[in-house]
Chains A and B, each alone.
Chain A
Amino acid sequence: GAVVSQHPSRVICKSGTSVKIECRSLDFQATTMFWYRQFPKQSLMLMATSNEGSKATYEQGVEKDKFLINHASLTLSTLTVTSAHPEDSSFYICSARPQTGNLNEQYFGPGTRLTVT
């Protein structure tokens, strides 16, 4: 149980275009989903927290107009990187916090490798 999927696993896009990444909790409902960014050989940095049906909360320094997050249902959150630039190339990982059970636990998706050319 507690499986989180991400789609796509890899994406290459041209500079200036937008890319959407999906994060789904497959076998549980997630009140809260988190989006992380990981640069090569670095740790995970929390970008934003999204709660179903409300606006996402962004961490300091993260441009909310560039990284659009939508959490329309209890099993799906999307991250859209708008007007992507090469410096947005990174590994994006989502996690989901279950609605019931251990509320301090998060389940992580497999990540999405974004390359902007």
Chain B
Amino acid sequence: AQSVTQLGSHVSVSEGALVLLRCNYSSSVPPYLFWYVQYPNQGLQLLLKYTSAATLVKGINGFEAEFKKSETSFHLTKPSAHMSDAAEYFCDVTTSGTYKYIFGTGTRLKVLA
């Protein structure tokens, strides 16, 4: 079975500072990993995905994530936070054949002016 752990339910950063949102996964088979962003009362928007190709994945809005198998991690980063990045971020995992997404508990990012 797969699982995802997002460390830190709330993260606050200053505008212009580095954003780091942590995600660790557990899977007995090669995983597919995703990061989504959710704005209030809206659905999920895909930021980026890891599907066993390049370990450093670049996504939209300047976000990127690195798949580290040795650390079972897929942390999301952005060099410089913008006010518009304030939202809820979800990491999730699936594996080939199951097609079920297992979501982390989410991290609420707050950007301080």
Contact = CB atoms under 8 A, between A and B. Distances in A.
B77 interface: no
Contact of B43 (A42, A43, A102, A108): A108
A43 B99 contact: no
Which range contains the number of B residues in contact with the other chain?
A: 20 to 34
Identify the interface centre among B51, B101, B102: most chain A CB within 10 Å of its CB: B101
B49 interface: yes
A111 to B, nearest CB: 5
Given A102-B51, A110-B43, A111-B43, A43 B101 contact: no
Contacts, number: 49
A49 B43 contact: no
Contacts of B41: 91, 111, 113
Interface of A: 6, 32, 34, 41-46, 49, 91, 93, 95, 97, 102-106, 108-111, 113
Given A34-B101, A44-B90, 11 more contacts: A43-B105, A44-B103, A46-B102, A49-B99, A49-B100, A93-B43, A104-B32, A104-B95, A106-B99, A108-B36, A109-B43
